[in-house]
Every structure is written in structure tokens, then in C-alpha cells.
Amino acid sequence: MKISPNVVAQHRAVTYKLMLKNTANIESIEVLSRGDYYHKDRLDYNIENSRILFTYAMPYKGEFVVKVNFTYKESKTVCLYCLDEAMIQLRPLKGDLHMHSICSDGKTTPFAMALASLGAGMDFMSVTDHDHYGGSLQAIKKVNDNGIDLLVLAGEEVSVGGKKDMSIALGNGHILSIHANRSIEDQRKDTETYEAELQDIAEALKEDHIDKNIDPAHYAKNIWVINKIREAEGISILAHPNWVYRDGKYHLHQAFYKEMLKTSQLDGVEVFGEEKIKEHNNMTHLTALQTKNRHKYLAPFANSDAHDSDHEVGDRFTILFVKEKSASSIIEAIKEGLTCAVFKREHYEHQFIGKDELAQYVYFLIKEYYPRHSSLKSRLAKLYLDQLINGEQFDRKIQIVRERLENHTNSFFQY
């Protein structure tokens, strides 16, 4: 049993089409709210060409169930979701903003990582090589040159303590630079200017009376990176803040972490990261989300931190809500905190971290929208790969899949 549309606006009368193979012996049709235990309405409906038509205005935000009751067999149900007028204008995009290629310590090319992301159902992604901006530009060029249906953003994972100190980081950690118009690492090559800017930042930090456990000269490196990302019109996402590295210590000094959250200079925080190394990143939301109403809400992210095309791509991802599929809309959504981090689990419920209403909505989308979406994206990736390997053109097949994707989205969401 299917229904269209699946996502609608609150208080807006909508005519629904309910597709059912056998419409005989229907006793009644009801709509129930999952959020309001007592809400249940009996619907008036018509049947035309095996389609059940009814009009209804959802009175509450959240998930609803349409229940078809039969005279001689068990009832059937289908789910709907109701949004306010602001959210109904936005569409979900699925993406991963942290992965590596052969341009740093990855095992495959930037383009291979892009195709792997598409195969895992992503709408957007970024190659974020360690202190290397060029890998992401290679991915962008190859994706555009081959007409791949994937939005790729420029990226770089900046080792705040310095490139030679990529892993140890001396407690400074790593920060993802996304959609910046230039490399952050390249700006450190002018060491004289870099050191002078660090000194200016450190002096300003002393006047700001930062935590007494923080060495301003050391912490200034974090602020320098964040400042340079902002100057390059990018966004800064704190990578794996609770990664346990050498000698059982956190890779990032926790006093630095708390100070960055407190001063609200970051745009986001990675709350789910790579699982094959020791990380405690699902603790991150305890701090990140506490900043709401105190300082600034920092967008939560789940990223794969993949180092190979078959290395956990798709196991963690972020769903954000945009006005259109463009880099500028993605950046706007991040700045507005319209993201939900998802940790995919095969045999258990997925984990979700985000604002309550967003997390509930994403939970619905993962159940109802994304299975079909991801299947079609995976099919697209295979067609593109076959086309590249065999040197043949599959334009018609690709167009058919893209049309199916568009039709799936158009029928699912009320415009």
C-alpha cells in the first residue's frame, strides 16, 4: 500500500492518493497521530480506478498513520509526516563531509571516493585530505566533467598543530574546512606572517580571560585555522573531538574543545566518526547540544572519515535541509543548524543526533523516503562506473534513473 504525498504542511487541506491492490471489503479509513495519543479521525473517501482519494488537513506536526480497516482481514497502514510552513519549503540532502584519498593517507583517488559516495546514496560529499586542498578540486572537476549527479564541495582536514604533526597534533586536534575558496595549509607556508598572526591572537585571548588551563599561544592555532576558514568563505567543523589517541589521551585537549564551543566560533561538530579506531564521539552531543540557548547551536555531523572506497562509506552520514540543491544552500543550512547526524546500524535502530524535531523527521525519512532514494542513487553510480570502464555511453539509462529519482521526490513531498 502506497500513498502520495507522504510529507505535507500543517493545517493545509491536501488530497491524497492511496494505492491499494484490492479495494474490496474496506470497512473504514482512519487517520491517527503518533504524537497525540487521543487523535483519531474517520475519513470520507472515494475510489477511482483502484485508487482511494480523500482530503484531509493534518492538525499537528509530526508523524501520522493512515489506517485502512477491512471487513474480513487485518488492517493495513501507511505513514505520513506533517511539517510547518517553513520546513515544508526545504528538501533533505544526504551527505558525507569527511573522507580521504591518495592525496593524503587514503588508498583510492578523489574521484573514486566521489563515486563510492554516490553508490552509498549521497547527494553531496567532500574529499578532505590531510592538509591538502587539491584532492577535493580533482574530485569536483572529474564529477563535473563526467556529468555525475553528485554535489562535491571543496574540502581539507587541517592539522591544527601543523602538517608535520598530523596525527599527534599536540592537543590541537583537526578541523574540517568545507567550501573554502583556498587552502588553509598553504597559508601557513609564509611562516613569518603565520607566527605574527598567532601572536596577535594569543594577546587578544589573554584579554578575553580564557580558561586558566589553556595556554593562549598554543590555543591560538585553533582560532587561526577557524579565522582563515571564515576568511575563505568556508565553514569549520571540528573533527572527532573525542578521539582517543596515544597513551589513552584525547587527540584534542578537552579544555580547547570546551572553549571553542563556548566562544561559538565553529560552525559544526562531528558527533559520529570512524569506528575502526578508538573513538568516543557519540559523547560529543552532550557538550555540543548544551550550547543551545547559551552560546550558539553548532550543527552536528556524522561522517565516515573513510580512507578507501569500501571503508565504511555510508555507515555514517548527515542529512540537512535546503532550499535547493546547491553549495550555497548547504552552507546556509549548516549555519542555521538544520542538520541531523545519523549512525547507520544494520541490526539495530539507527542513532540520530540533532534538534528533536529534525531527528524525528529524519527518522521518518530513513524509514519511508531513503530506501528508494538510496537504491536509485546506487544504480546511478553503477551506470556511471560501467560507462567509464567500458567507454560506452549509457545516457538513456542514466536519464531514466534520474527521472525516477525526481519523480520519487516530487510524489513524496508536497510542493
Contact between 396 and 383 under an 8 Å Cβ cutoff? The reply is no
What is the C-alpha separation between 67 and 88, in angstroms, rounded? 24
Q: In what order do the strands lie in the sheet with 46-48?
A: 2-4, 13-19, 51-57, 46-48
Phi, psi of 266 (to 5 degrees): -75, 165
Q: CA–CA separation, 280 vs 287, rounded Å?
A: 13
Return the closest-CA partner of residue 89 out of 323, 411, 319: 323
Enumerate domains of the chain plus CATH numbers: 2-86 (2.60.40.10), 90-368 (3.20.20.140), 374-412 (no CATH)
Checking 241-247 for CB contacts under 8 A at 24+ apart, the result is: 241/173, 241/269, 241/270, 241/281, 241/284, 242/279, 242/280, 242/281, 242/283, 242/284, 243/273, 243/277, 243/278, 243/279, 243/280, 243/281, 244/278, 244/279, 244/280, 245/167, 245/168, 245/169, 246/168
pLDDT value, residue 187: 94
Helices (H), 175-326: 191-207, 216-231, 254-263, 284-288
Report the predicted TM-score, pTM, of the whole model to 2 decimal places: 0.93
Q: What pLDDT is stored for residue 203 in this prediction?
A: 92
- 372's enclosing H/E stretch is helix 370-390
pLDDT (0 to 100) of residue 281: 65
Sign of CA dihedral 399, 402, 408, 413: negative
Q: Which of 49, 90, 283, 267 is nearest to 179 (CA)?
A: 267
What's the pLDDT at 199? 96
pLDDT number for residue 163 = 64
CB 94 within 8 Å of CB 319 = yes
What is the model's pLDDT at position 49? 84
- Return the beta strands (E) in 1-147 as ranges: 2-4, 7-9, 13-19, 26-33, 40-42, 46-48, 51-57, 62-70, 76-83, 91-96, 124-126
Per-residue pLDDT of the chain (415 residues; tens, 9 = 90+): 899 999 999 999 999 999 988 888 899 999 999 989 899 999 999 998 889 999 999 999 999 999 999 998 899 999 999 999 999 999 999 999 999 999 999 999 999 999 999 999 999 999 999 999 999 999 999 999 999 999 999 999 999 987 655 555 678 999 999 999 999 999 999 999 999 999 999 999 988 778 888 999 999 999 999 999 999 999 999 999 888 876 778 888 889 988 888 887 899 999 887 665 556 666 676 677 777 666 778 899 999 999 998 878 999 999 999 999 999 999 999 999 999 999 987 777 888 999 999 999 999 999 999 999 999 999 999 999 999 988 888 999 999 999 999 999 999 998 7
